[in-house]
Amino acid sequence: MNLFKKKNYIPLGKTAQYNRHARAEEDYSDSPIIPNGLWVKCRHCSSTIYKKEMDEFQICPKCGGHFRIGARDRLNITCDEGSFEEFDADMTAKNPMGYPDYEKVLEKAREKSGLKDGVVTGKCTIGGYKAIIAVMDSNFMMGSMGSVVGEKITRAIEKSTEMKLPMIIFTTSGGARMQEGIISLMQMAKTSAAVRKHSDAGLLYVSVITDPTTGGVSASFANLGDIILAEPKSILGFAGRRVIEGTINEKLPPDFQSAEFQMEHGFVDKIVDRRNMKSTLVTILKLHCPKEVD
């Protein structure tokens, strides 16, 4: 085992996409993005874990710490088997600002994540209850929100308004996608307005905070759920830790912006272990919706 404690045996993903509001990627250098290697390091207890020791929940067998989980894997542990029908599966980004090499950056992100962009949306049932679901994925450019993420999430919310269904969004994002410039910023207003319409229609929106949810996504739909759940120790915050430390000239406590910190400050309804997430969602849906049978 000692052999594997050497840092260079852990091929952690190196993504260069982050923004002023997001925590810089360096802050996550020990982050549990599961690479193609067989071994991963737990960010919470620093143990080196043999990947096959972990089940579909991707939780550290040593300390129970939650690893980051991709959108497809998340859908598998959340939706009833075979119930997920994807929306807008083929939507891809353009280059509105003419950012040099954006196409190359996107191509790399597609390879790394196996996704077309940072969110997967669709219709499903959860414990038999119909819902519209959106799951963001930090493997795609840190889940940054550009036109595709903003449009897919807006369409999903509009669809749930139209179909009078509850909306569930699993958030993870470094913030606005810098490479798309001001158009990315506009996605915050666009998604928030869609949430407003959904809310005015008397419908339920559950937002589930997963690690990390920062910047523009924290300042739009992530913080607008009727009910806000969070995975243990996930980061929820607007400004990045280093930006704040640089501004106030002091070191922040280690739990700053953690889900536990946010619950203590009144911004999270409940912290839910990933293994209990589906049953918690089912209970919430049960208390809000009459059960429909096809």
Partner 1 sequence: MSRASEILFNSRKVSRPSSLDCIEKIFDDFLEFHGDRCFADDCAMVGGIASLDGMPVTVVGIQKGHTVAENVSRRFGSPNPDGYRKVIRLMKQAEKFHRPIVEFINTSGAYPGKGAEERGQGEAIARCLFESAGIKTPIISIFIGEGGSGGALAMAAGDRVWMLENGMYAVLSPEGFASILWRDPSRSSEAAELMKITATDLLANGVIEKIIPEAPEGIENNVEYTTDFIKKDLIEEFKVLCAKPIDELLKERYERFRKFGEFEE
Contact (Cβ atoms closer than 8 angstroms) between residue 207 and residue 188: no
Q: Does 279 bind partner 1 (CB under 8 A)?
A: no
Cα angle at 191 between 140 and 129, to 5 degrees? 85
42 binds Zn ion (CB under 5 A): yes
Q: Choosing among partner 1, Zn ion, none, which partner's interface includes residue 38 (Cβ < 5 to 8 Å by kind)?
A: none
Work out what residue 205 binds among partner 1, Zn ion, none; the CB cut-off runs from 5 to 8 Å by kind. none
Please report, as residue ranges, which positions from 64 to 93 form the binding site for partner 1 (by CB under 8 A). Answer: 88, 90-93
Q: With respect to partner 1, which residue has the nearer C-beta, 55 or 101?
A: 101
The nearest distance, CB 70 to partner 1, in angstroms, is 21
Partner whose binding site includes residue 42, from Zn ion, partner 1, none (CB under 5 to 8 Å by kind): Zn ion
Helix, strand, or coil here: 146? coil
Among 62, 110, 112, 155, the residue binding Zn ion under the rule CB under 5 A is 62
Contact 222, 205 (CB under 8 A): no
Gyration radius (Cα) of the chain, Å: 18
Distance CA 34, CA 69 (A): 8
DSSP letter at 24 equals P
Is 63 one of the binding residues for Zn ion (CB under 5 A)?
yes
x-or-dash pattern for partner 1, window 5-44, by CB under 8 A? -----------x-xxxx--x--------------------
d(CA 252, CA 269) in angstroms, rounded, equals 24
Q: Residue 137 contacts by C-beta under 8 Å, 6 or more apart in sequence?
A: 70, 71, 113, 115, 118, 119, 120, 143, 172
CB of 64 to Zn ion, least distance (A): 7
Which C-beta is closer to partner 1: that of 34 or that of 224? 224
49 binds, among Zn ion, partner 1, none (CB under 5 to 8 A by kind): none
Q: Shortest Cβ distance from residue 10 to Zn ion (Å)?
A: 14
Our CA angle for 16, 19, 24, nearest 5°, is 60
Interacting residue with partner 1 among 126, 238, 258, 259 (CB under 8 A): 238
One-letter-per-residue 3-state SS of 234-258: CEEECCCHHHHHHHHCCCCCCCCCE
Q: Which of 294, 164, 264, 149 is nearest to 217 (CA)?
A: 149
Residue 171 pairs in a beta bridge with 209
Residues 141-180, one symbol each (x = binds partner 1 by CB under 8 A, - = not), give ------xx-xx--x---------------------x-xxx
Q: Do β-strands 167-173 and 205-214 pair in parallel, antiparallel, or remain unpaired?
A: parallel
**Residue ranges in contact with partner 1 by CB under 8 A:** 16, 18-21, 24, 88, 90-94, 96-99, 147-148, 150-151, 154, 176, 178-190, 192-193, 195-197, 199-200, 214-216, 218-224, 236-240, 243-244, 247-248, 250, 252, 256-257, 265-267
**Residue ranges in contact with Zn ion by CB under 5 A:** 42, 44-45, 60, 62-63, 65
